[in-house]
């Protein structure tokens, strides 16, 4: 695992993982990440388009 604090990819690993899951499994995202979607103002069914 890379531990370089200056590597910009490391700072966004969790966000990028979540974006991938939201894109690939929108139904699961609605079920388990409804609070995240609501916090970002995303409507059901708009997950894939929002994170394309």
Give the total number of structural domains in the chain: 1
Query: How far from the centroid of its chain's Cα atoms is residue 9's Cα?
Result: 15
- Note down the domain range covering 26: 8-50
Return d(Cα 52, Cα 47) in angstroms, integer: 9
In contact, 34 and 48? CB cutoff 8 Å: no
Residue 19 lies in a domain: yes
- The pTM (predicted TM-score) of the whole model is 0.49
Question: What confidence tens digit (pLDDT) does each residue in 1-42 have?
Answer: 557 777 776 777 777 787 788 788 888 888 888 888 888 777
Residue 35 lies in a domain: yes
- Rounded mean pLDDT of 42-47? 64
């Amino acid at each position: 695992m890379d531990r370089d604090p200056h590597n910009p990819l490391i700072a966004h690993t969790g966000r990028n993982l979540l974006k991938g899951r939201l894109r690939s499994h929108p139904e699961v995202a609605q079920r388990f990440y409804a609070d995240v979607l609501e916090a970002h103002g995303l409507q059901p069914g708009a997950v894939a388009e929002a994170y394309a």
